[in-house]
Structure formats: structure tokens, C-alpha cells
A = this chain, B = another copy of it.
């Protein structure tokens, strides 16, 4: 038994725009940032959580996290109902007006919900993926806010699906511990990188054991084709190369531009257009269904900017995506991601999480590992994004071995940033900015 007694919040920004790391067609100059919080209790470890932004407005997210503090003070992390807790944040009748369940207030809810999971899992002595995978199907179903989902998936259907995966959990935990979870890397493909750097990093990725890489596209069409050719030449015909347009195109542009890249065999096109455009994604997917060199599809992927479970539900209902890309910090944290994993499982669509930024790899690996153990039981066509930036700022950073995420063993959500990093990169007064 313990009580959450206080909450500290931070505006932490890394000046990544100085090197063009993370540059893409819509985000030319990101400063990877975290609106960060620490839950302090009267006894035992702290809970850490954050949401990810790319610079300006990180202070606005921090202000929204501050607005949620009354919901955690006084709670006992050993008895808190994690489903009720998450719903209490997203259902605040006045704050809800600012979304609902989208944008800044939802990013803030994600940070707070994830911090609570970090705290609860630390107290239980388990990494979050294992904490989740040890819950009963009934407990998992109770984590979800079922409002607006029942036309696509009912709690009873979810229970059935989770119960079917109970046999084999122990075996899959052993497998995961031995092999880790497959990763792909975006490190070669930032839009600001010259061709020789793309070439070098693409070759390096293959040498490091990755079987999939990703390139940014969406600026100059000739550049996209040339860079893709450079990468294809570097990695050979069997390595998967995904491309990512970061929302740059209208529907017709997306189709036309991907047909230009089709001869070089792109594995998926990510964020071809607005993340809000369910029907647009469905149209693009239909248009590219036989565009690959073998007559198969160029797959459509989206999700890192999809606002909430209601939009994911529709992407699945409309057959708009081949790949669902969850993000640990944009929707309402662990709880809403559990809902999205269940929806994707029902529709048989693989989940390949968005990561990178700062700390997103650390968090989202837990969700894919939970999916493997307790939801789908499969890693087929499933990979977690990996980018080799900023991991050194975390107490329990991700470890990549032979193209796989090594299964974390430390208790919690791998969310805790080193105190010296928090101090150095606090905006605007930390030494990195002053």
C-alpha cells in the first residue's frame, strides 16, 4: 500500500534539428521532445511517463498534463483499477471538450496513463509487457474503454479471442526471452541525408541483421526514385524497403507517386495522406492492390498520427490499411493501445508500431511483446520500428541484437530518463539550450 503524493512535470527538448535527424517531408526540423512527468509516492519507486512532441508546443502538452494531476493525487498504485483510472482522465467532462480524445489533451492523458503503468509494474516487479501478459482475459478486457467500439468488436468477442491465446502463453514468453521481437530500422532514410549516407546506412542495417528498412519520401519525385534505387542497390532484392510520406499527399498524388516507385518493390507506403482520412486510405489501398512487381499489393500503413481507437476502428472496418501502426504516446496510453491491438487482431491486420523520436522505442516494444504473448501469438509480418537516437538518456534503454528488440527484464515501462539528461535538456533553461 502506498499513496501518490506529488507529481513533477518537465518540458524536455533535444536540439535534433541541428543534424537533420528525423527530417521528413512534413517535419523538416524536429527537435525531439518529451512532455514528461514523475509520480512520487510516500513509499517505493516513482512512476515515469511522457508524451512525445517535436519541439514547439511541448510546453502546451506539459500544461495539459498539469491539468490532469488532480486525478492521480491520493491514489494507491497497489489497488488502482487501471481501466477506471484511464477512463477517468479521458472522460473529464470539461477537458473532453478540447478533444474529444485527440490532440493535446489526449497526448497528456497518454503521458499520465503510461506513468501509472510504469509505477504499477515497478511495484509488481515486472516489465510492463509481462505485467500485461500475466493478466487474465477478463482483466485485459476491463482495461478498455468500449465506448464507440461495439459495432466492430464487443467485449465478449475480445474475451473469446484472448481466451484462445491463453494456451501457449508460457511457451511464447520463453521464445520471446530467447529471440526478442523483430525490428526494422528507419535510420538510413531521413529526407535530409545525402545519397552516400543513405547507401552507407542501408548496408550497415543489413549487416546489423535487419530484414526491413524504411525511407522517407514525399518531397521531390525524382529524388524519391533516385534514393529508393540507391537503397535497393545497397540492400539487394530480398530486404523489405518501406517508404513513408508523412502525410504529404492528396489521394491522387499518393497513387501516382507510388506507381513511380512500384518497379523498385516498396513493401509499404506509410502515411500517404491525412491520418484522419479513412476513406482516402481505402481509395489508395484499392488503387495499389496489384501495383507491386509481382502483381501483389503495395501495402498501406498508417497510425502514428491516428487520433484514437475510433479512427483505427474505421480504418479496419473500411479495409483501408494492411498494417496498423500504433504509437505508445498519441492515443490514451497502454489502455487504448490494448483496444487497438484487439481490434487489429479481430480484423487479422498485423501491427507494426511507430517508434523513434525520444523514448518511443522504449515504450512500444512492451506492447508488441504483449500482443505476441497474449493476443495474436504471432510475429508474422510484424516488426517494431527502431531508430538509433537518444536511447542513452534512458535508465533502461532498448537493446537491439541481430535485428531484434531484446526482451526487457527490468520492472516498469522502460520510461525513466536519467536525471542528468532531464537537467541538461530542460527547456529553455537547461545547458543544452541556454
Binding site for B on A (CB under 8 A): 26-31, 53-57, 59-61, 63-64, 67, 92-107, 147-151, 247, 250-252, 273-280, 283, 305, 307-308, 310-311, 313-314, 317-318
Q: Which residues of B contact A96 (CB under 8 A)?
A: 26-27
CB within 8 Å for A94 and B278 given contacts A100-B247, A250-B151: no
Q: Which residues of B contact A56 (CB under 8 A)?
A: 67, 92, 94-95
Q: Which residues of B contact A148 (CB under 8 A)?
A: 250, 273-274, 277, 280
The distance from the CB of A328 to the nearest CB of chain B, in whole angstroms, is 15
Report the Cα distance A148→B277, complex, angstroms.
8
What are the 3 closest A-B residue pairs judged by CB atoms, nearest first? A103-B103, A104-B104, A56-B94
The distance from the CB of A77 to the nearest CB of chain B, in whole angstroms, is 24
Q: Given B104, B280, B317, which contacts A105 in the complex, CB threshold below 8 Å?
A: B104
Q: Which residues of B contact A105 (CB under 8 A)?
A: 57, 60, 103-104
Q: In the complex the two chains form, is A100's CB within 8 Å of B305's CB?
A: yes
Of all chain B residues, the one with the shortest Cβ separation from A308 is B276
CB within 8 Å for A29 and B93 given contacts A151-B280, A247-B100, A276-B102: yes
Q: Which residues of B contact A273 (CB under 8 A)?
A: 148
CB within 8 Å for A27 and B277 given contacts A60-B64, A105-B57, A252-B150: no
Q: In the complex the two chains form, is A31's CB within 8 Å of B94's CB?
A: yes
CB within 8 Å for A98 and B102 given contacts A150-B251, A151-B251: no
CB within 8 Å for A102 and B100 given contacts A63-B59, A151-B283: no
Q: Given B29, B147, B252, B307, which contacts A307 in the complex, CB threshold below 8 Å?
A: B307
The distance from the CB of A272 to the nearest CB of chain B, in whole angstroms, is 11
Q: Which residues of B contact A279 (CB under 8 A)?
A: 278, 314, 317-318
Q: In the complex the two chains form, is A57's CB within 8 Å of B280's CB?
A: no
Report the Cα distance A100→B251, complex, angstroms.
18
Report the Cα distance A273→B150, complex, angstroms.
12
Report the Cα distance A46→B251, complex, angstroms.
41
Q: Would you mind naming 11 contact pairs between A and B with Cβ atoms under 8 Å apart? A: A53-B98, A54-B93, A55-B94, A57-B94, A60-B104, A98-B104, A102-B276, A103-B103, A103-B307, A151-B251, A277-B314
Report the Cα distance A59→B314, complex, angstroms.
33
Q: Considering residues A29, A64, A147, A150, which has the most beta carbons from chain B within 10 angstroms of its beta carbon?
A: A64
Report the Cα distance A96→B24, complex, angstroms.
13
Report the Cα distance A314→B273, complex, angstroms.
14
CB within 8 Å for A60 and B29 given contacts A105-B104, A307-B276: no
Of all chain B residues, the one with the shortest Cβ separation from A314 is B279
Q: Which residues of B contact A277 (CB under 8 A)?
A: 148, 310, 313-314
The distance from the CB of A15 to the nearest CB of chain B, in whole angstroms, is 12
Q: In the complex the two chains form, is A57's CB within 8 Å of B64's CB?
A: yes
Report the Cα distance A53→B105, complex, angstroms.
13
Q: In the complex the two chains form, is A67's CB within 8 Å of B57's CB?
A: yes
Q: Which residues of B contact A92 (CB under 8 A)?
A: 56
Report the Cα distance A159→B276, complex, angstroms.
26
Q: Given B31, B97, B274, B278, which contacts A57 in the complex, CB threshold below 8 Å?
A: B97
Of all chain B residues, the one with the shortest Cβ separation from A315 is B279
Q: Which residues of B contact A313 (CB under 8 A)?
A: 277
Report the Cα distance A60→B57, complex, angstroms.
10
CB within 8 Å for A147 and B275 given contacts A94-B56, A98-B53: no
The distance from the CB of A291 to the nearest CB of chain B, in whole angstroms, is 18
